[in-house]
Structure 1
């Protein structure tokens, strides 16, 4: 009985979403995963997309859509770049306006999320412990963001915007703290691309 008690005390406790969020922020420098994204419009119509992502904290991320179209969203620590190969267009923004274009911006941010978001427990659903993050500023394009954790790893995100649209992202093939070079998160517009500044 004593051995069972000691074993129980030695195992990590993932009781709440906020605890897992804090552990993720404190112990994660880099993160890679594949993702499947489902956007549900207010009328119920759904759109599917998928790809891969990588973050290097703080402030760097690389979010790549591979289906049904190609698009790359890069945060280089200062600016946000959105490359649409089909349009031969690159959009450039300030990084602090990135959440509406890539949910990775929240995971790649600083440890002080409470400065920009009101954080609260959002209960357990689908085997995950959820945290709700409500932006304190209203220009992010989103009313709220929920992150679902399992063993201190983000496994899903759910974003609700002001138009009644919901985006659900599920992560797979998650790798925590892989070795990533900063050059992966640098972006130079391709020759001949139309560069648009959205600042």
Structure 2
């Protein structure tokens, strides 16, 4: 992409992402190895509220919640009765969807647009990390249909591909503030990680 094309694609992506304040959807995820063999399938629900509110609940195959209020990030593994607490700044390597709940400036400080594919009412943006050594992902593709985010595909450093499909999407539906807060239940082990 030329610099002008990159700037235009970036502006278009920012326009799509800034069009909503809240987002919630069901997700299905399939992770494939570099030969295309399915390694794992998972499903659950995602909630986002700008700036910084994010909740990713996995129901299958394990019960896990990733949650942040924009300051502290929690990973709660219900099956293991363990919660990990860390600064939100450590979020990028964990789940690239978390980036979409933050500021667009933060997103663009980590990724650059490497390509755009348009097909009827669907548009996909391929993002690559600006500093690849700091990311677990070599690329992320975000797909929008009728201006609504419906899919994401990531490729990690092991060339494994994760394909996320979002359904029953609701945009700008009010979300309770407590959706993005977390207090560990009694008898849950808490591990606290500091920023690196």
TM-score by length of 2: 0.85
Stretch moving more, 23-32 or 57-66: 23-32
Query: Do 2:150 and 2:165's aligned partners in 1 also have CA atoms closer than 8 Å?
Result: yes
Per the alignment, residue 25 of structure 1 pairs with 17
Per the alignment, residue 149 of structure 2 pairs with 154
Alpha-carbon RMSD across the aligned residues, in angstroms, is: 2.0
Out of 65, 74, 98, the residue aligned to residue 67 of structure 2 is: 74
Query: Do 2:115 and 2:127's aligned partners in 1 also have CA atoms closer than 8 Å?
Result: no
- Equivalent positions of 1:153-172 (< 5 A) are 153-172=148-167
Query: How far does residue 195 in structure 1 lie from its aligned partner after superposition?
Result: 1.2
Counterparts of 1:70 and 1:64, CA distance in 2: 7
Q: CA 1:25–1:139 in structure 2 vs 1: closer, same or farther (change >3 Å)?
A: same
Query: Do 1:42 and 1:165's aligned partners in 2 also have CA atoms closer than 8 Å?
Result: yes
Query: Do 2:142 and 2:153's aligned partners in 1 also have CA atoms closer than 8 Å?
Result: yes
Counterparts of 1:35 and 1:128, CA distance in 2: 18
Aligned residues: 184
Per the alignment, residue 42 of structure 1 pairs with 34
Counterparts of 1:55 and 1:17, CA distance in 2: 23
Per the alignment, residue 140 of structure 2 pairs with 145
Q: Secondary structure at the match of 2:104?
A: coil
Tell me whether 1:133 sits opposite 2:127 in the alignment: yes
Structure 2: 5+ residue runs without aligned partners? 1-7
Q: Secondary structure at the match of 2:134?
A: coil
Counterparts of 1:69 and 1:125, CA distance in 2: 35
Query: Do 2:70 and 2:102's aligned partners in 1 also have CA atoms closer than 8 Å?
Result: no
Query: How far does residue 100 in structure 1 lie from its aligned partner after superposition?
Result: 2.8
Q: CA 1:71–1:179 in structure 2 vs 1: closer, same or farther (change >3 Å)?
A: same
Q: CA 1:134–1:100 in structure 2 vs 1: closer, same or farther (change >3 Å)?
A: same
Query: How far does residue 101 in structure 1 lie from its aligned partner after superposition?
Result: 2.4
Per the alignment, residue 116 of structure 2 pairs with 122
Out of 92, 103, 106, the residue aligned to residue 96 of structure 2 is: 103
Larger Rg: 1
Query: How far does residue 197 in structure 1 lie from its aligned partner after superposition?
Result: 2.3
Query: How far does residue 17 in structure 1 lie from its aligned partner after superposition?
Result: 6.3
Structure 1: 5+ residue runs without aligned partners? 1-15
Q: Secondary structure at the match of 2:138?
A: strand
